[in-house]
Structure formats: C-alpha cells, structure tokens
Amino acid sequence: MRIVFTLLFSLFLSLPAAHAQEEVVLGFSQNQVEITTDFDGSEILIFGAVKRESPLPDGDPLHVLVTLSGPSVPAVVRRKGKRFGIWTNVDSVTVDRAPIFYAVATSAPFEEMLSLSNDRRYRVSIERAILSIGAKVAHEQAQDYVEALVRIRENQAKYAFLENTVQIDQQTLFRTTIQMPPDLTEGEYTARILLTRSGKVIADHDSSIDVRKVGLERFLFILSREQPVLYGLLALAIAMISGWGASAIFRLLRNR
C-alpha cells in the first residue's frame, strides 16, 4: 500500500500548474462487500489524493473529512414506560429518514474543520445526516427521540464518530479505515470525501460501495421476500427435521 501512495504522490506533483483548484481522487480497498453466513463485519480502507492545478496554497492547512453512509430509511423510535407495573411502549416517533449505517472520520477536531453553516449545508455530522423535520412538526419532543436513536445505533456500532483518524501526508495523500458491523443491511453505501480550509468545504467527491448477500444468505433473503409462503414451509420443515434429528441422537445416546 505504501507503493500506491508513493506513485500517487509522484503523479500529482508532476501535474501542470493552471488554476487554483483542489480536487479529490479516491480509492477503496474493496468496492463490494459480500455478506455470507459467516460474515463478521468488514474493514474498509478509504484512500486517495488531492489533485492540484497550482502550487500548494499558503495559509490554513488542508483538512479531510470522510463519511460512509448506508441507505436512508424511516425509523421508528419508541419510549418505554410503566403501565400497571409492566414496562411497555408508551410513545413513539417516526424519524423521516435516517441512514442505517453512518460513520464520520476526520483529520482534526471536527469543530476546527467545519463551520456550523457548512455542516448544515453538507449534512456531515451524525445529527445532520438524520432528517427529522416532519417528526419535529408532529411531536414537540422529537429531538429527544432523535438523540435516543443516535445513542442506540452508536451502541450497535452502526453510527461512529472517528475524530483524528484520517492520516494526511504532505497535504496531498490521505487514508483512513472504517469498520462495518456484522449485521449490515444490503444496499448501496456512499463514501464521501470533503476537503476543507478555514472551516469551509472547498471540494467534495463521493463514490459507492455495493453491499450484497451472497450464497445461501442471498437465496434465503430473496425467498423470504418473493415467496414468503414457501419460505415459511421451508423454515417449518427445517425445524421439524432438526427436532427429529436431535431426538434420534438423544435416544441413541440413552440406549448405549
């Protein structure tokens, strides 16, 4: 991997000077994640370089923000309470859209890299990545539910804030790794790179990573969606065969 970084660095140093502009060239250790029966998570290496058409600008240093997000879908957040001595759901809020997975990696403290206005515009932080306008209109305490959703998914390793984990070499090459949890939902995940100076975004780039079930996992997933009756019968048959097999083994061991 060090050879790759060296080649990238040599290539971009040789680019001709023209206009004062910085762009991102992005790469992945893998652009497809396959979920199998023994899948236990995946670590994605995201690396790249900054292409310049002019010498390195003077002044504030370059910072790099990396986000990796899964598909955004509505999410229901429920609050439990005691009713007649029993814990039960007493209230709920439906968040408009929230990514099923979201990670933010930074090369410096977040507040130093991105202003509040730019965070609102580009929706970089975890809180900004969640769309809850409708929920806040419908429920006056919706923000509490959004914060609870973030805490829950952080505990499940589905949301991560990875400050100071992006490495930058000579303000040109950068890299970071993001760990994806075992219980991934399949779909198209988006990696986004933002270059910032003085708290402002000067360039951004995104690319996709395809997450798909394969093998037996994919067969069962498709069967459960397209043929639910057949899937139910198959599950019942497997349960009956497993029960019969366990019973037969137990009788065999008891008679010895």
The least confident of 16-20, 173-177, 186-190, 249-253 is: 16-20
Same domain? 220 vs 119: no
Q: What is the pLDDT of residue 29?
A: 66
Beta strand 42-52 pairing with 173-180: antiparallel
* 242 plus 156 within the same structural domain: no
- Out of 46-55, 102-111, 155-164, pick the least confident: 46-55
For the ranges 8-17, 29-38, 209-218, which has the lowest average pLDDT?
Answer: 8-17
Tell me, yes or no, whether 79 and 157 share the same domain.
yes
Residue 224 has a pLDDT of 66
Q: Are residue 115 and residue 193 in the same domain, yes or no? A: yes
* Shared domain check, 243 and 127: no
Q: In the predicted model, is pLDDT for residue 86 greater than 90?
A: no
Q: Which residue has the higher pLDDT, 133 or 146?
A: 146
204 shares a domain with 151: yes
What pLDDT, on the 0 to 100 scale, is given for residue 108?
94
pLDDT tier at 187 (50, 70, 90 boundaries)? confident
* Domain housing 222: 214-256
Residues 190 and 223 in one domain: no
Closest of 63, 64, 32, 26 to residue 46, by C-alpha: 26
Predicted local confidence at residue 132, as pLDDT: 85
User: Does 229 lie in the same domain as 208?
Assistant: no
Which of 84, 92, 11, 87 is closest to 52 using CA atoms? 11
CB 210 within 8 A of CB 49: no
Give yes or no: residues 87 and 171 share one domain. Answer: yes
Residue 252 CA, distance from chain mean position: 49
pLDDT for 16 beyond 80 = no
Model confidence at 173: pLDDT above 70: yes
Mean pLDDT computed over 214-240: 67
> Count of domains in the chain?
2
- Same domain for 187 and 233, yes or no, is no
Exposure string over 72-109, b if 16+ CB within 10 A, otherwise e = beebebeeeeeeeeeeeeeeebebbbbbbbbbbbbbbe
Is it the case that residue 217 has pLDDT exceeding 70? no
β-bridge partners, 28: 46
Q: Which two tokens stand for residue 201?
A: 């975004």
* pLDDT band per the 50, 70, 90 thresholds, residue 101: very high
25-79 per-position pLDDT tens digit: 877 766 667 666 556 678 888 888 988 877 777 778 899 999 999 999 999 988 8
Same domain for 98 and 219, yes or no, is no
pTM of the model: 0.73
Quick one: 137 and 232 in the same domain? Answer: no
Other CB atoms within a 10 A radius of the CB of residue 168 amount to: 17
Q: What is the CATH number of the domain that holds 34?
A: 2.60.40.3880
